[in-house]
C-alpha cells in the first residue's frame, strides 16, 4: 500500500495477518479501490510472520491440554498488536481492536457505522484453531463474527467488514442517499429495484414507479420493505415492530 497517497487524517484499517498479500483484494476494486488510490482511506496489512521466532518465524504452538491443530501464540501476536496500535487512541470507540472469530458478536450494519465513525480500526485475522485467550484478555480485544460458519482464516471476513465500513465514509460512494435507503439502514430489508426496459420477458415495472408521484413511490417502497422483512427476516421484523410501538 506504500505507493498510494496518504491524506492527513484519512481513516485507516490495519490488518494483522499471515497473508498480507491477500490485501487489498476486492477492496482494491470499484469505489473502495478508487478511494484507496485517492488516499481517502488507508489500508495497512501487517505480516504476523515478521514477529515470529526462530529460523522459520514460528507464530503458533500446540494447544494446551492437547487436541488437534495449532494456536497462535500470545507473545507473538502481542508484538504485532503493540506495533499496530502504537500512536493510536486507547479509546476503543475511537479505534476498535478486533479479532475476527466465529464465536464473536455478529457483524451488522450498526457495527459498520460505528467503525466508519471511528478514526480507524485494527483487525486480527485468525488461523488454525484460533489465538491464545490471554492476548485477547490482555489487550481488551473485541471478538466479531461474519456469520455462523467457519472460514480457514479471517482475511475474507476482514475484507467484507472493511468494505461495509469504508463505503459509509464521507466521499466514498459519492451519493450519501445510497446508504440511507439500502437494507438494514432503517431496520428493514431494501425494497425491490427496477430499471429499463419497461417490459422484459412479459414482466413490467410496477405502475406506481412510473407515475411520477413521489409520495406514492415512497409509500410503495416502504410497504414493500416491510413485506419483504416480515416474510424473510422475522427477527428483524420483530425488532422493527418493537421500535414502532
41 and 131 in a single domain? The answer is: yes
Q: Domain check: are 18 and 74 in the same one? A: yes
Task: Establish if 99 belongs to a structural domain.
Answer: yes
- Is position 212 within any domain? yes
In a domain, 132, yes or no: yes
Tell me whether residue 4 is in a domain: no
- How many domains, the chain? 2
Pair (93, 131) in one structural domain: yes
Q: Are residues 101 and 192 in the same domain?
A: no
Which residues carry a binding-site annotation?
126, 146-151
Q: What is the pLDDT of residue 169?
A: 96
Domain of 235, CATH number, reads: 1.10.1270.20
Cβ proximity of 107 and 166 under 8 Å: no
CATH number of residue 63's parent domain: 3.40.1280.10
**Same structural domain, 161 and 135:** yes
Residue list for the binding site for S-adenosyl-L-methionine: 126, 146-151
113 domain-assigned = yes
Do both 42 and 152 map to the same domain? Answer: yes
Q: Are residues 50 and 83 in the same domain?
A: yes
Burial of 240 (0-12, 13-18, 19+ CB in 10 A): middle
What is the structure's pLDDT at 176? 57
Same domain, yes or no: 212 and 150? no
Residue 155 within any structural domain of the chain: yes
Q: What is the pLDDT of residue 177?
A: 47
Mean pLDDT in consecutive groups of 10 residues from the start of the chain, 245 residues = 72 98 98 96 98 96 96 98 97 98 96 98 96 98 97 97 97 69 78 95 97 97 96 96 87
* Residue 150 placed within a domain: yes
C-alpha cell at 207: 405502475
Read off the pLDDT of residues 68-117 as tens digits, 9 standing for 90 and up.
999 999 999 999 999 999 999 999 999 999 999 999 999 999 999 999 99
Of 180, 153, 156, the closest CA to residue 168 belongs to 180
- Asked whether residue 124 is assigned to any structural domain, the reply reads yes
pLDDT at 30: 96
pLDDT of residue 121: 98
Global pTM value? 0.90
Q: Domain span at residue 191?
A: 182-244
Residues 191 and 159 in one domain: no
Do 131 and 195 reside in the same domain of the chain?
A: no
The answer to whether residues 24 and 97 belong to one domain is yes
- Please indicate, yes or no, whether residues 123 and 236 belong to a single structural domain of this protein: no
Amino acid at each position: 500500500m506504500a505507493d498510494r497517497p496518504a491524506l492527513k487524517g484519512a481513516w485507516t484499517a490495519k490488518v494483522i495477518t499471515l497473508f498480507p498479500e491477500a490485501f487489498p483484494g476486492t477492496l482494491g476494486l470499484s469505489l473502495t479501490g478508487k478511494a484507496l488510490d485517492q488516499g481517502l482511506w488507508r489500508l495497512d496489512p501487517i505480516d504476523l510472520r515478521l514477529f515470529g521466532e526462530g529460523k522459520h518465524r514460528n507464530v503458533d504452538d500446540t494447544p494446551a491440554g492437547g487436541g488437534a491443530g495449532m494456536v497462535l501464540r500470545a507473545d507473538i501476536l502481542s508484538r504485532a498488536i503493540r506495533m499496530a496500535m502504537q500512536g493510536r487512541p486507547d479509546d476503543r470507540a475511537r479505534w476498535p481492536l478486533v479479532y475476527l472469530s466465529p464465536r464473536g458478536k455478529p457483524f451488522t450494519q450498526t457495527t459498520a457505522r460505528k467503525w466508519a465513525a471511528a478514526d480507524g480500526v485494527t483487525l486480527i485475522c485468525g488461523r488454525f484453531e484460533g489465538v491464545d485467550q490471554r492476548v485477547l484478555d490482555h489487550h481488551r480485544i473485541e471478538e466479531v463474527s461474519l456469520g455462523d460458519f467457519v472460514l480457514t482464516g479471517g482475511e475474507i471476513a476482514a475484507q467484507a467488514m472493511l468494505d461495509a465500513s469504508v463505503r459509509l465514509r464521507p466521499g466514498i460512494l459519492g451519493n450519501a442517499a445510497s446508504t440511507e435507503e439500502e437494507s438494514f439502514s432503517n431496520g428493514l430489508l431494501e425494497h425491490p429495484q427496477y430499471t429499463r426496459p419497461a417490459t422484459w420477458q412479459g414482466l413490467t415495472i410496477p405502475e406506481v414507479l412510473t407515475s411520477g408521484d413521489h409520495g406514492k413511490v415512497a409509500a410503495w417502497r416502504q410497504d414493500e420493505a416491510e413485506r419483504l422483512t416480515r416474510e424473510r427476516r422475522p427477527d428483524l421484523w420483530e425488532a422493527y415492530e418493537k421500535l414502532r410501538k
